Amino acid sequence: MSKVTDYVDNLFYLMPRTDQAAEMRQKLMESAEDKYEALLSWGKNEDEALGIVVSEFGSMEEICAELGVEPIGMDADARQARLAGDYALLGRRFSRGLGFGIVLCVLGLVACIMLEEIYYAADAVSVSALLLLGGLGAAVITASALRYTRGKRLLQMGLPLGDELRERQNARIRRAEKTFSSIIMLTATALFFFFGVFMNAWHPAWVFFPMGGVLCGIISTILETMRTK
Amino acid sequence: MIGSDILRGYNDLIVLGLLSEKDSYGYNLLQEIAARSGRSYQMKETTLYSVLSRLEKNGMVRSYEGSETQGRKRTYFHITGAGFQYFRDKCTEWAETKDLIDRFALRPALAPPPERAALDGIFANERSPAPKGESK
């Protein structure tokens, strides 16, 4: 959708999900879109048009009052302090995610080398361990980078990473924890049977289980620390 | 540009006044307000919609979905009987307010004769550009 939709969506991000708020959002969106299109048709470019729409949009405090919702961060000082805190939090989260991702990648390398040199495992086993851990590390890095960008954009629009957002993020982390563990253990089982049945390598292949277990442990610990209080 | 604080109490009147002529939708109302005020008042989107939402809650206006333009739906607003009554009350209130404030504001015609001369001087100065050389 257009930039206007994004803008209005962001303003409503922390609003309660009521029918009334949804209706208000819809109407404001209609009018802002109308204005935006009109400005474009008068030869303004997208950025100019968005600038005008935003400058004439007004303040969400009015809408909060109308919907009977407590506006978030009415006090300018408190808002400033909160914004600074949120930026710091965002930075901490990002570096934690980055660190965890790098640790996973290194772990993949170590596991690969150990399997090759100490356990004399088949190449396929060690390479899959490397790919599994390395891929997971890359995924963690990408996810935390994406989250960082999203959070930063939110903060730039003057919206705090509110409690609701934190709560939702925590719920998402809990879900992710479950998904990760089941995927890891399923993969371990699949790899165990695959190498056991097709390569008759039951003996070195059992390491997938303790490896999976350790991985689950690591992930749940890290995710636990990623949960915001 | 007239401050929105001063107009706060009269946004209802402005919106109802436009709706009393014909049903309309958000962007059109904003355009109309800007145009009729000679661009001296640009109502904010959030102001308009909090006014409309309050009026609708109190049964002064009704909203309905109008014809779709370019696949986008558009919400039209219609003034109700109660809305007309409220509009008339608001207009009376404004006339009284205007009359009251006029008694205090600088108006040469209403001032007693000695002050009138002085006020006329002030107004004359305001109307005519300052003589050259005296400008500060």
Of A26, A33, A56, the CB nearest to B44: A56
CB pairs under 8 A between A and B: 60
Token digits of residue A154: 């939110």
Residue B29 within a domain: yes
Q: How far apart are CA A211 and CA A2, in angstroms?
A: 46
Q: How far apart are CA B4 and CA B41, in angstroms?
A: 8
- Contacts of residue B42 in chain A, CB cutoff 8 Å? 56
Q: How confident is the model at residue B29 (pLDDT cuts 50, 70, 90)?
A: very high
User: Residue A4's closest CA among A63, A48, A65?
Assistant: A48
Residue B123 within a domain: no
Residue B59 within a domain: yes
Distance of CA A73 to the CA centre of its chain: 24
Predicted pLDDT of residue A66: 83
pTM of the model: 0.50
Q: Which segments of chain A does DSSP mark as H helices, in order? A: 3-11, 19-41, 46-55, 60-67, 76-117, 123-156, 163-199, 202-205, 208-226
Q: How far apart are CA B98 and CA B111, in angstroms?
A: 17
Q: Say how many domains are in chain B.
A: 1
Q: List the single residue in B with minimal CA-CA distance to A60.
A: B46
Q: List the single residue in B with minimal CA-CA distance to A24.
A: B49
The order of strands in the sheet holding B75-79 is B24-25, B75-79, B61-65
Mean pLDDT of B52-73: 84
Q: How confident is the model at residue B52 (pLDDT cuts 50, 70, 90)?
A: very high
Inspect the interface and report whether the beta carbons of A59 and B45 lie closer than 8 Å. Answer: no
* CATH number reported for the structural domain that contains residue B10 in this entry: 1.10.10.10
User: Residue A30's closest CA among B25, B62, B51?
Assistant: B25
Q: Give yes or no for a contact between B39 and A50, defined as CB atoms under 8 angstroms apart.
A: no
Q: What is the pLDDT of residues B71-110, one digit of tens each?
A: 677 899 999 999 999 999 999 999 999 999 888 887 656 5
- Residues 6 or more apart whose Cβ sits within 8 Å of residue A21: A12, A15, A67, A69
Distance of CA A34 to the CA centre of its chain: 33
Q: Which residue ranges of chain A lie beneath pLDDT 70?
A: 1, 70-83, 156-167, 228-229
Residue B109 within a domain: no
Q: Tokens 């891929």 label which residue? A: A135
CA distance A161 to chain B (A): 23
- Contacts of residue A58 in chain B, CB cutoff 8 Å? 44-47
- Contacts of residue B48 in chain A, CB cutoff 8 Å? 31
Residue B114 within a domain: no
Predicted pLDDT of residue A7: 85
- Contacts of residue A12 in chain B, CB cutoff 8 Å? none
Of B26, B42, B72, the CB nearest to A56: B42
What percent of chain B has a predicted confidence (pLDDT) above 90?
Answer: 47
Predicted pLDDT of residue A99: 92
* Higher per-residue confidence, B54 vs A171: B54
CA distance A75 to chain B (A): 20
Q: Give yes or no for a contact between A27 and B74, defined as CB atoms under 8 angstroms apart.
A: no
